[in-house]
Amino acid sequence: FETVSNSLVTTSNQLTGYKYVIWFLGDESTADETFSSAEQSILKTFLDNGGSLFVTGSEVGWDLDFNGSVSDKDFFNNYLKSIYVDDNPTPNTPFASGIIGSIFEGLNFDFGQTYPEDWPDVITPFGGSTGIVQYNGTQTAAITFTGNFPNGTNTGKLIYFGFPVETIASDSIRKEILAIAHTFFTTPVSVEDEAEIILKEFSLSVYPNPFNPATKIKFSNSQAGKYQIRVYNLLGEEVMLLFDDYLEIGKHVFELKMDNFPSGMYFINVQSDQMNLSEKVMFLK
Torsion of CA 97, 203, 76, 117, to 10 degrees: -10
- 275 pLDDT more than 50: yes
For the chain, domains (ranges, CATH) are 6-186 (3.40.50.880), 203-283 (2.60.40.1930)
- Residue 199: per-residue pLDDT: 45
- Backbone torsions φ then ψ of 167, nearest 5 degrees: -90, 5
Summarize the confidence of residues 89-115 as an average pLDDT: 92
Taking the model in full, what pTM does it have?
Answer: 0.69
The three-point CA angle 87-93-94 to 5° equals: 90
Alpha carbon 138 to its chain centroid, in Å, reads 18
Beta strand pairing status for 264-271 and 276-283? Answer: antiparallel
Beta strand pairing status for 52-57 and 20-26? Answer: parallel
Beta strands in 171-275 (DSSP E): 203-207, 214-221, 225-233, 238-247, 250-257, 264-271
- 130 pLDDT more than 50: yes
- Residue 64: per-residue pLDDT: 95
- 29 pLDDT more than 90: no
- Residue 1: per-residue pLDDT: 65
**Of 68-77, 217-226, 274-283, which one has max mean pLDDT?**
68-77
Distance CA 9, CA 205 (A): 29
Query: Do 185 and 157 touch, CB atoms closer than 8 A?
Result: yes
Strand partners, 216: 207, 255
